[in-house]
Amino acid sequence: MIPFNDLFLFGIAALIMVLSPGPNMVYLISRSLSQGKNAGLISLFGIMCGFLFHILMVAFGLTAMFFAIPFAFIVVKFLGIAYLLYLAYKSIRSEHKVFKINESLGSNTPLKLFNIGLMTNILNPKMAVFYLSFFPQFINPENGSVLIQSFQLGFIQILISFTINFLIVIYTAKITFWFSKKPIWIKVQKWFMASVLTGMAIKMLLTKAE
Widest pairwise Cα distance in the chain: 54
Whether residue 124 is predicted with pLDDT greater than 50 in this model: the reply is yes
Per-residue model confidence (pLDDT) at position 210: 47
Which DSSP helix (H) or strand (E) runs through 160? helix 146-170
Q: Please state the φ and ψ torsions of residue 145, each to the nearest 5 degrees.
A: -60, 125
| Stronger pLDDT, 35 or 94, i.e. the higher one | 35
CA 60, CA 202: separation in Å to the nearest integer?
Answer: 26
User: What DSSP character marks residue 137?
Assistant: G
Per-residue model confidence (pLDDT) at position 160: 94
pLDDT tens per residue, range 148-205: 888 899 999 999 999 999 998 888 867 766 666 666 666 666 676 677 667 767 766 7
What's this model's pTM, rounded to 2 decimal places? 0.69
CA 146, CA 72: separation in Å to the nearest integer?
Answer: 13
What are the helix and strand counts (H, E) for the chain? 9, 0
CA 158, CA 85: separation in Å to the nearest integer?
Answer: 23
Closest CA relative to residue 201, chosen from 119, 100, 79, 107: 79
pLDDT tens per residue, range 6-21: 889 888 888 877 877 6
CA 116, CA 112: separation in Å to the nearest integer?
Answer: 6
